[in-house]
């Protein structure tokens, strides 16, 4: 049976709770334990799939097709454990489940209440698969004191109470602000935050305190005394130059030791941190630098393309270069020449996205990359834009476009080279969709196989002709145009196993131009960079030598 670690936050949001959880998971693995990480989000959306990336950052997709919080991306990147549908839940999902049960009559006429019905639903979720791993880490989204969070805090309190003593611990993340004028680190917000936790029956075993600098002994002792934790369980989380140093930094601070102590595990198995030492060495000692432009729409919020930025960093690590990413707003050159905005980059990446805004700029970016032989990676919408560019400017289909934009505008303007996907095969089932369907959870989601053409660049990059990658899209390149586009040199080098859905396109006479309908960034890890990102950065490095 798993031991449980519950991770909560206080004082302010965005303290890096997800990162701390992921790093702790990695440290427990380094000591030989198996782990699973889970996120419990108090918001009322059923899942983040329908939220704007401006609001919530990237939507992370699992192999089994769940649209989840971006923290699950951190969990996967640090532990390599593929997340599942059952690793992410929100109040919206919990209440949906409870209300469906109520409608079915499962509660046998009882009055349905937050305690026990909602809390039981949360507890059931937490315990899924508890016999599979040594440690289950459950992060509660938001901060203590949030109204929506209360049922979750109550549920973990009950959960720990139901378990034998010593099987659950609580880790609380807070902020220690530094007041310049007095030159002091302030512990009061943390004291208040812990007081708030204790008022709902939760006592933290470990305090992780975000601070700009080290925490002096005096403040540590004060925190320990006032918050009722051991002094060696007050862990400083200092700002780091790279998130990939977090496992080493937390280890230096004694986090994993404090956690094992809190469970009474002694002697603790020794950690093997070689993987993270190598990762830190690669990130802090690059031998060169490449500049990559990400031409997108959600460029004000970097979290919107979190996994892509991380996957590029991983590609840089395997090539021993620093990848400096610049965010270029595609809308800037919707109507203008793209060249002044794109000159000087060693590679161009057009990421996924939804809606028409900025797409003319993305098409121009693909054209610029094709004509100037700049390495190009198009992901999902970025592949669709590359195909539309080829259709318009090479195959002569002047009206080529995506049905997505016609549907959005409510009128027909384009020849649908990219069309609305009505049915596809998943396992041994056919999935069907209509244009007016609900928006939530209805895309082609999760892992699907693809077959790569022998001798293609992608087969070479992957070192295989069979791959499995994660998808999240409603529209698809129409195979009707395949022959015409292939004659022009755009090869459909990856297809769904039944040959009906284009998965990858590549320009034959180009140093590196690949568009993929799936999201390779979701599977990249710092210790195992995704082959496409590895090779894309290699191509950028080569381009940088030519400049």
Contact range with ligand GLN by CB under 6 A, out of 155-163, 183-191, 322-330, 473-481: 473-481
Q: CA-to-CA distance for 519 and 101, rounded, in angstroms?
A: 35
Closest alpha carbon to 463 in 397, 530, 415: 530
Question: What tokens were used for 190?
Answer: 């943390």
Least distance to ligand GLN, CB of residue 36, Å? 27
Which of the residues 154, 380, 403, 503 is marked catalytic? Answer: 380
Of 346 and 470, CB closest to ligand GLN: 470
CB atoms within 10 A of CB 134: 15
Q: Does 473 bind ligand GLN (CB under 6 A)?
A: yes
* Residue 138 a catalytic site member: no
Least distance to ligand GLN, CB of residue 419, Å? 10
CB 365 within 8 A of CB 295: yes
Q: CA-to-CA distance for 85 and 294, rounded, in angstroms?
A: 29
Which of the residues 415, 469, 506, 521 is marked catalytic? Answer: 521
Q: Does 84 bind ligand GLN (CB under 6 A)?
A: no
Q: CA-to-CA distance for 422 and 407, rounded, in angstroms?
A: 14
Least distance to ligand GLN, CB of residue 336, Å? 24
Of 356 and 542, CB closest to ligand GLN: 356
* Residue 380 a catalytic site member: yes
Footprint (CB under 6 A) of ligand GLN, residues 322-381: 352-354, 380-381
Q: CA torsion sign, 376 to 378 to 382 to 385?
A: positive
Q: Does 474 bind ligand GLN (CB under 6 A)?
A: yes
Mask of contacts with ligand GLN, 94-123, x by CB under 6 A?
Answer: ------------------------------
Least distance to ligand GLN, CB of residue 382, Å? 7
- Determine the 3-state secondary structure of 494 from DSSP: strand
Report the relative pairing of strands 322-329 and 289-296 from DSSP bridges: parallel
Contacts of 502 (CB under 8 A, 6+ apart): 387, 476, 477, 479, 482, 492, 494, 495, 517
Q: How far, rounded to the nearest angstrom, does the alpha carbon of residue 351 sit from its chain's CA centroid?
A: 14
Q: Does 404 bind ligand GLN (CB under 6 A)?
A: yes
Angle subtended by helix axes 246-253 and 17-30, to nearest 10: 80
Least distance to ligand GLN, CB of residue 92, Å? 22
Sheet containing 322-329, strands listed edge to edge, beginning at the edge strand earlier in sequence: 322-329, 289-296, 347-350, 376-379, 513-516, 502-507, 490-495, 444-452, 466-473
Least distance to ligand GLN, CB of residue 311, Å? 15
CB atoms within 10 A of CB 442: 13
Q: How far apart are the first and last CA of the chain?
A: 57
Out of 3, 314, 472, 482, the residue judged to bind ligand GLN by CB under 6 A: 472
Footprint (CB under 6 A) of ligand GLN, residues 480-509: none
Of 215 and 381, CB closest to ligand GLN: 381
Q: Does 475 bind ligand GLN (CB under 6 A)?
A: yes
Of 255 and 514, CB closest to ligand GLN: 514
Report the relative pairing of strands 184-185 and 178-179 from DSSP bridges: antiparallel
* Residue 407 a catalytic site member: no
Q: Which residue positions form the known binding site for CTP?
A: 13, 146-148, 186-191, 222
Contacting positions for ligand GLN (CB under 6 A): 352-354, 380-381, 404, 472-475
Q: Which residue positions form the known binding site for L-glutamine?
A: 353, 381-384, 404, 474
Instruction: Return the active site residues.
Output: 380, 519, 521
């Amino acid at each position: 049976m798993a031991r449980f670690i519950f991770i909560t936050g206080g004082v302010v949001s965005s303290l890096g709770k997800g990162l701390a959880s992921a790093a702790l998971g990695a440290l427990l693995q380094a000591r030989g334990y198996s782990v699973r990480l889970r996120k419990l989000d108090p918001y009322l959306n059923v899942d983040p799939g329908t939220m704007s990336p401006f609001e919530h950052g990237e939507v992370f997709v699992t192999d089994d097709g769940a649209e989840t919080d971006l923290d699950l991306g951190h969990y996967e990147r640090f532990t390599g454990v593929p997340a599942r549908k059952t690793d992410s839940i929100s109040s919206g999902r919990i209440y949906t489940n409870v209300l469906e049960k109520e409608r079915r009559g499962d509660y046998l006429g009882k009055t349905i209440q937050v305690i026990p019905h909602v809390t039981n639903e949360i507890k059931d979720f937490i315990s899924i698969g508890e016999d599979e791993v040594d440690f289950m880490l459950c992060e509660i989204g938001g901060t203590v004191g949030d109204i929506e969070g209360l049922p979750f805090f109550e549920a973990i309190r009950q959960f720990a109470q139901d378990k034998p003593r010593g099987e659950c611990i609580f880790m609380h993340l807070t902020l220690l602000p530094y007041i310049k004028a007095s030159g002091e680190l302030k512990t009061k917000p943390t004291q208040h935050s812990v007081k708030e936790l204790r008022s709902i029956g939760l006592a933290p075993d470990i305090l992780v305190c975000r601070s700009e600098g080290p925490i002096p002994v005096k403040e540590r002792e004060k925190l320990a005394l006032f918050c009722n934790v051991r002094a060696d369980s007050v862990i400083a989380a200092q700002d780091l130059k790279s998130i990939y140093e977090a496992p080493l930094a937390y280890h230096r601070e004694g986090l994993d030791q404090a956690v094992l102590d809190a469970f009474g595990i002694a002697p603790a198995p020794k950690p093997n941190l070689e993987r993270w030492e190598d990762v830190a060495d690669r990130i802090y000692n690059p031998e060169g630098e490449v500049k990559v432009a990400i031409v997108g729409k959600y460029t004000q919020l970097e979290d919107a393309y979190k996994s892509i930025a991380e996957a590029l960093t991983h590609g840089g690590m395997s090539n021993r270069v620093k990848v400096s990413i610049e965010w270029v707003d595609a809308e800037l050159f919707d109507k203008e020449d793209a060249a002044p905005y794109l000159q000087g980059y060693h590679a161009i990446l057009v990421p996924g996205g939804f809606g028409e805004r900025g797409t003319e700029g993305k098409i121009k970016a693909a054209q610029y990359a094709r004509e100037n032989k700049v390495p190009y990676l198009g992901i999902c919408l970025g592949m669709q834009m590359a195909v539309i560019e080829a259709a318009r400017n090479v195959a002569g289909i002047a009206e080529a476009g995506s049905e997505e934009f016609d549907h959005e505008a409510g009128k027909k303007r384009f020849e649908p080279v990219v069309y609305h996907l009505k049915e596809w095969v998943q396992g041994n089932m056919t999935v069907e969709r209509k244009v007016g369907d609900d928006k939530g959870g209805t895309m082609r989601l999760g892992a699907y196989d693809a077959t790569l053409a022998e001798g293609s660049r992608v087969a070479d990059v992957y070192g295989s002709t069979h791959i499995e990658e994660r998808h999240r899209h409603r529209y698809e390149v129409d195979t009707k145009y395949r022959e015409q586009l292939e004659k022009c040199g755009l090869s459909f080098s990856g297809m769904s196993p039944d040959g009906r859905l284009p998965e990858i396109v590549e320009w034959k006479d180009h140093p590196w131009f690949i568009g993929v309908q799936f999201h390779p960034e979701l599977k990249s890890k710092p210790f195992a960079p995704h082959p496409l990102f590895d090779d894309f950065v290699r191509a950028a490095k080569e381009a940088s030598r030519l400049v």
